[in-house]
A = this chain, B = another copy of it.
Amino acid sequence: MADDFTVTPWEVSGDIDYGLLMERFGTAPVDDALLRRIGRHGEIHPMLRRGVFYTHRDMGWLLDEYEKGNRFVLYTGRGPSGQTHLGHMMPWIFNKWVQDVFDVPMLFQMTDDEKFLFKDLTLRDTKSLAYQNALDFVALGFDPAKTRIILDTENISTLYPIALKVAKKVTFSTAKAVFGFDNSTNIGSIFFTTIQAAPAFLPSEQQGRQVPCLIPCGIDQDPHFRVARDAAPGLGYPKPVMLYCKMFPGLGGGDKMSSTDEMGTIYTTDGPKDVKKKVGRAFTGGRVSVEEQRRCGGNPDVCAVHKYNYCLFESDDSKLSETADRCRKGEILCGECKSILTDRINAFLESHQEKREKARDVIDGMAFDGFEWVKG
């Protein structure tokens, strides 16, 4: 069944039909006209060109404002429930590109409160994970002068008054319909969406004028921002503008990389041997035997290795399609592709892990309002 899938901030399951999801959520496609318009400001990022970031809300308005000189604030975030993996990194890498091309400030929210409420974790756990995750974010090179990291429980005095304003506009009925809550949901989880809305409105609140906000993130976050967007006009804030990406796939072939599948997940702290082992076991579009594959060719469309190249590890379009063609013709075998991907991931991680260590030197200065990290 084509619509037998679930995409919410807390559950992504089934085979996602991204076209149908766009219809369900009522978001607009990232089309050629939009790409051309973005292209006026800088070279189009591969994730846009290839439809990884594929759907949006109000990007046209955002660019109108930007071109009139009304700069937006960039906002994305992370729920610190475990170590960072490549699935988390993908939209952050894109956000870094947006910051560079449009030269805009960035707010990065770490929802330690959310993960405490929704997971079997203590607040100490989620705060400590927030630091680990933030190191990966900072390592990507966001401008320390223009980027602030919000940690919910540490910056709650700033977020709470805005969250209250949002909360006053949102009924349980709405929360139930949007998130699928029921009578057994805890009352913190019900309230939480207002905290995720708050950073989108923070620049407007602080500057006392309508500051546009762009939120590039996974499409699973749309329920939160539908609520935030509905509440915005009544509070005198502009509706946050959304730019959504597809989920980063797991190596096992699933639609979303997830820590529940340890072997299908590459963490930013993995060593070369971990990567080799994990990529070695990846789901591909290969045949049952070398002979059959040489004869009939493989299927890159279902191949996790190909998806990794597509999303993150091969920015050259012609090389990407050349490899896919050679796969279809049986000219290249899975072992070879896996070996190339392993090298690429390891090269990326080696460099990233160095930057991650250096991030420790600048991360304190990026804490919103100068809060102190739990580094232990």
Contacts and interface: CB of A to CB of B under 8 A. Distances in A.
B113 A164 contact: yes
A233 B187 CA distance: 18
A59 interface: no
A361 to B, nearest CB: 27
A81 to B, nearest CB: 14
A146 B157 CA distance: 25
Interface in A108-126: 113, 116-117, 123
Chain A interface, DSSP helix/strand/loop, else mixed: helix
Contacts of A123: 161, 164-165
A154 to B, nearest CB: 7
Contact of A172 (B113, B153, B181): B181
A194 interface: yes
Interface residues of A, number: 35
Interface in A141-194: 153-154, 156-157, 160-161, 163-165, 167-173, 175-176, 181-191, 193-194
Contact of A188 (B181, B182, B183, B194): B194
A264 to B, nearest CB: 30
A173 B91 CA distance: 37
A186 B161 contact: no
Contact of A156 (B157, B184, B185): B157
Contacts of A172: 172, 181-187, 190
B187 A171 contact: yes
A171 B186 contact: yes
A160 B113 contact: yes
Contact of A175 (B117, B157, B160, B187): B187
Nearest to A155: B157
Interface in A211-256: none
A154 B157 CA distance: 7
Contact of A168 (B156, B183, B186): B186
A117 B153 contact: no
A153 B164 CA distance: 10
Given A123-B164, A153-B157, A169-B186, 4 more contacts: A160-B160, A168-B188, A170-B186, A187-B190
20 contacts: A113-B160, A113-B164, A116-B164, A116-B168, A117-B164, A123-B165, A154-B157, A156-B156, A156-B157, A160-B160, A170-B188, A171-B184, A171-B186, A171-B187, A172-B183, A172-B184, A172-B185, A173-B183, A173-B184, A190-B191
